Amino acid sequence: MGPIELNKRRIILLLASILAFYIVFHGLSSSSGDFRDVASQIPIPGHLNPTEHKLPPSAPDPDAIWDLELDPSPAPTPTPVPAPESELELEPEPENAIDTEKPIPPTSQPVEHFDLHPIAQLMQEADAEWRAYETQISTTFRQTVEKYRSKYGRHPPPGFKDWYKFARKRNVFNIDDFQQIMDDLRPFWALNASEIRIRAAHMWENPDFGVSVIHIRNHKVVRVDNPSWRSETMEKVIEKCIKFLPDMDIPMNRLDQPRLIVPWEDMQELLRKEYQTRIMAPEVTDSFTKNQPELLDINIEDKELDHSTRLSDDWFFAPGQQYMNLAAKGCPPESPARSNMTVADTDMLYKEPTLGFVKNFNLSTDLCTVGPTIQDLHGMLYSASSIIASQKLVPIFGECKVSVNNDILFPANMYYQHDERYDYDDEEDVDWRDKQDNTIWRGVTSGGVQLEDNWDRMHRQRLVQLFNGTHLSETGKEVKVLTEKDDGPGKVNTTYELYGRFQPSQFADRHSDIGFTEPMSCLPNCSFYDSVFSWKPQVSLTSQFKSRYLIDVDGHSFSGRWHAFLQSKSLGLKATIFREWHDSRLLAWRHFVPVDNRYDDIYGLLTYFIGYGKPYKQHVDEGGDSNSRVFVARHDREAQKLARQGREWANKVLRREDIEVYMFRLLLEYGRLIDDNRDFIGYSGDGSELDKFDAGEDDEGRWGFGGW
């Protein structure tokens, strides 16, 4: 039944519901001026609210995007607590560890000591954020649908009940957290369904544009155009839920690099439209419409014989160009990418002030914020091997994107298929105490096309150079670290100050094993590396877990090892510009350590965890050794705690089952989006049908909570 067939009664009901909806969410007093204000504030998915780029940088609320979210509970203000050692099940410290236990003061009044290192503060804040995340989760279908409606202003899509059961049976941890899907699909509501179908059906036809299309008809994948290993893996995931899916064409990016950059102003217009079309009819049909027109006619083998409508996707080729020239168009006008904000002011938006540890990981990966400062420091940003982009909003599914892209994310195939280069294997993942106090990284020279005069600005090359002791001492490189302040014998708290002249070469030699295994992607050939790098032996993924610290950086695109790093008992440190499906479930400083894309914080991080130097009482001036002034106690337990939290969390929310649940939900939402009756299909009940299921009184058995 389509909108045109509506009888009068239904139209009245419909109008009444729109009015009711409007009143609920805008209040009666809402004037048209108010509405304009609301609309002009609509943030772009994955972007910041315009106000977030204004100084001073009070911690931005990462959830602030959905205007309809009612009564957001204020973030709890973290109160300082004693250094978190006490709450840990401790593993014995290695012999040579510097003793960080504070001696009991001789007074009868116990004095509390606080370790005021900014990292301790960041970890506490992340814990508070995580507790809030963990406590707001729906536990029943009733709550889940209610939350859906209040958050998104629409009914859940058809099949939501099946998806809910599917997710519960797989022990999904947070049934509500599919924010990325909603963000990604939101602007598409501004396009009509037939336009999306037309584009999706034919996007594969010019193979130069690097798109595969998977065609689902009658609950089967009946054809894949331009297939690749990526589409094969995606097919395997789709199989799990295909019996619930309507006919659809799914275009998938075949390239490593993301595709779409819709200019910010156009995106605002699309989002405004989406907002205005939110609707909840009192009663909708819980099934997809059959026989939609404009899906690809798969009986026609030869595309030349298919005379159906085409729309141009306006792809253009832009490899090896400054990506920020394109990307800035997708940024809000007041963001650093489009204003002339200084580096210092930009840093204040997302770095803590003492050394510049990443305070807001979301912003540290946001090109509108960091783009201007890293545009010459990341291979994809100035020397990408392939960029095929469009400024039109067209449906294309991709594994990763940067903050300005409008691709529809799905869980990377690498995380699903079993590939020993990327799959977690516990064979050599020894316990923390048996790991080496070491930082490891291995990889090839990917990231962009390398020339003799540009390679040293690429992200991987910079990392390797920054940990090459020989190179560091030859060049006299100095970096920033924090050192404990000498506050005299009566000091109560441990405080720190910046030391900008730390010479890291010996520390790097002792505590890192970072290097390339082989060259690739150089023009005309890689001989210019002969005098710069020596190739290190390959180290299998599981052998890398013998080191405590695992650094993860981008390659040509996102890094496929990240899930395995998190699953391991080692601690992952991550720098990236890419966004992935799992981002809203991973919290920096709770599950991993964020690293700035400039790496200006990396020695501050490692000296904090590993420790450096002698306590100030024993400071001796060792002549020319400027490092002798530096002392930071070892914080091995904090590192271990983060590593353990990351591992436990990854085992709850980054499982193959979680990928299946994500994909199912994504394709249900997409299926509704491409349905001509999309405003009149979905789930309009109150959720009570699954009361028994939720109470475990169903034949199907009780679902377990993921991890309580």
Ligand X SMILES: *[C@@H]1O[C@H](CO)[C@@H](O)[C@H](O)[C@H]1NC(C)=O
Please report, for residues 416, 535, 568, the alpha-carbon distance to residue 426 in angstroms, rounded to integers and kept in the order given.
Answer: 17, 26, 7
Cα separation, 661 vs 667, whole angstroms: 10
Pairing of strands 496-502, 593-594: unpaired
Minimum distance between the CB of residue 180 and ligand X, rounded to whole angstroms?
7
Minimum gap (Å) between residue 329 Cβ and ligand X? 14
**Count of CB atoms situated within 10 Å of the CB of 223:** 16
In the bound state with ligand X, the residue whose beta carbon lies nearer, of 514 and 642, is 514
How many Å apart are CA 6 and CA 18, to the nearest integer? 15
- State in angstroms the smallest separation of the CB of 343 from ligand X: 14
Residue type, 296: L
- Give me the least distance between CB of 488 and ligand X, in Å please: 12
Q: Which two tokens stand for residue 60?
A: 């931005």
Least distance in angstroms from the C-beta of 367 to ligand X: 12
CB-nearer residue toward ligand X: 236 or 485: 485
Rounded Cα–Cα distance for residues 592 and 646 (Å): 6
Which of 46, 706 has the CB closer to ligand X? Answer: 46
Nearest CB to ligand X, comparing residues 37 and 474: 474
CB of 371 to ligand X, least distance (A): 14
Which CB, 350 or 670, lies closer to ligand X? 350
How many angstroms separate the first and last alpha carbons of the chain?
43
Least gap, CB of 694 to ligand X (angstroms): 28
86 vs 525 by CB, closer to ligand X: 525
Q: Which is nearer to ligand X, 194 or 386 (CB)?
A: 194
Q: Can you name the residues that pair with 217 across neighbouring β-strands?
A: 220
To 5 degrees, how large is the angle CA 389–CA 403–CA 362? 165
Pairing, β 512-518 against β 408-409: unpaired
Neighbouring C-beta atoms of residue 453, cutoff 10 Å: 8
For ligand X, which is the closer residue by CB, 161 or 462? 462
Least CB distance to ligand X at residue 365 (A) = 9
Order of strands across the sheet that contains 512-518: 512-518, 436-444, 547-552, 571-574, 593-594
What's the closest the beta carbon of residue 687 comes to ligand X, in angstroms? Answer: 25
Is the dihedral angle over the CA atoms 379, 382, 387, 389 positive or is it negative? positive
Tell me which residue of 509, 486, 488 sits closest to 439, measured CA to CA.
509
Binding stretches for ligand X (CB under 6 A): 43, 45-49, 62, 64-65, 80, 114, 179, 183, 192, 194-195, 339-340, 362, 464, 468, 470-471, 474, 492-493, 515, 524-525, 527, 533-534, 536, 583-584
Burial of residue 345 (number of CB atoms within 10 Å: 0-12, 13-18, 19+): middle
Residues 506 and 484: their CA atoms lie apart, in Å, by 20
Tokens matching residue 663:
């994909």
Of 230 and 672, which CB lies nearer to ligand X in the complex structure? 672
State the nearest-atom distance from the C-beta of 44 to ligand X, in Å.
8
Q: CB count, 10 Å around CB of 58?
A: 9
Quick one: how many helices (H) and strands (E) in the chain? 23, 14
Would you say 217 or 471 has its CB closer to ligand X? 471
